[in-house]
Amino acid sequence: MRVDMQHTLVGADVLASGIHDAKNRLFEAQTLLAQAEAEQGVKLPDARVAISGAATRLSRTLIAYRLLRDQQPMAIVPVTVAELIEDAATTVRTQFERAAVGLTVIDRYAGAWPLDRTLVMDVLVNALQNACRHARAEVTLIAQAREGGLCLGVNDDGPGFPPALPVQRPEGQSGLGLFIAARIAGMHQRKGRCGSLSLSSGGPLGGALFECNLP
């Protein structure tokens, strides 16, 4: 039993290292593509979306694996909130344009907040991608101070969160995004307080309201 377990862990580590390597090569391919586009004066948006989609998926799989094994490193440093939310919006801009969904970014905090930039970016990008998939026409991303913490909220005008999250996912979706988001929020701890995720329906746009609260 013990040996089997060890074999499983070694096998999983081999997979994780392969995923890590493939992800880095995709990010390299992204840079090369951007250079080629600039040099040749062409635009290849489909290739860009395909490459960044695959890279994001691999990154997220790796984060989930590390979280499950309690091996996800954290680097909590003060991050300018306006930049963080603008960068998250930029990452999903093409997807929103294609879906003809408007995205409004509002920074009501106007300052820096201690957080792990890479992990919180993944949380926001997933929440925005989810919102874009379900919205009719509008999504907002709002950063604001709340109860001594920072609240990063994504609201859409779609049908809202289902009462229970589905077990089966549509093709191309892993169902890892919200699981990871809840773990990442909880790993942000400060002054005896833990971060948390709140999923509800309503907000100014009436649909799903995703809120990541960081202490």
Ligand X SMILES: Nc1ncnc2c1ncn2[C@@H]1O[C@H](COP(=O)(O)OP(=O)(O)OP(=O)(O)O)[C@@H](O)[C@H]1O
Give the binding site for ligand X (CB under 6 A): 126, 130-131, 134, 156, 158, 161-162, 165-166, 169, 173-179, 208
DSSP state of 176: -
- Choices 26-34, 102-110, 125-133, 136-144; region in contact with Mg ion by CB under 5 A: 125-133
Establish if 215 lies at the interface with Mg ion (CB under 5 A): no
Establish if 126 lies at the interface with Mg ion (CB under 5 A): yes
Q: Considering beta carbons, is residue 6 or 174 the nearer one to ligand X?
A: 174
Q: Considering beta carbons, is residue 153 or 177 the nearer one to Mg ion?
A: 177
Establish if 59 lies at the interface with Mg ion (CB under 5 A): no
Nearest-CA neighbor of 13 among 153, 5, 194?
A: 5
Establish if 72 lies at the interface with Mg ion (CB under 5 A): no
Is residue 139 within 8 Å of residue 132, measured between CB atoms? yes
Could you give the CA distance from residue 173 to residue 152 in angstroms, rounded to a whole number? 23
Q: Considering beta carbons, is residue 76 or 151 the nearer one to ligand X?
A: 151
Residue closest to Mg ion, measured at CB: 177
Q: Considering beta carbons, is residue 152 or 208 the nearer one to ligand X?
A: 208
Q: How far is the CB of 57 from ligand X (least distance, A)?
A: 7
Establish if 160 lies at the interface with Mg ion (CB under 5 A): no
Nearest-CA neighbor of 73 among 11, 118, 113?
A: 118
Spatial CB neighbours of 36, under 8 Å, sequence gap ≥ 6: 42
SS3 165: coil
Residue closest to ligand X, measured at CB: 177
Q: How far is the CB of 44 from Mg ion (least distance, A)?
A: 25
166 makes contact, choosing from ligand X, Mg ion, none, with CB < 5 to 8 Å by partner type, with ligand X
Could you give the CA distance from residue 172 to residue 135 in angstroms, rounded to a whole number? 18
161 to 190, contacts with Mg ion by CB under 5 A? 177
134 makes contact, choosing from ligand X, Mg ion, none, with CB < 5 to 8 Å by partner type, with ligand X
Q: Considering beta carbons, is residue 130 or 155 the nearer one to Mg ion?
A: 130
Could you give the CA distance from residue 55 to residue 45 in angstroms, rounded to a whole number? 15
User: Would you state the structure tokens that stand for residue 181, as one six-digit string?
Assistant: 């988001």
Binding residues for Mg ion (CB under 5 A): 126, 130, 177
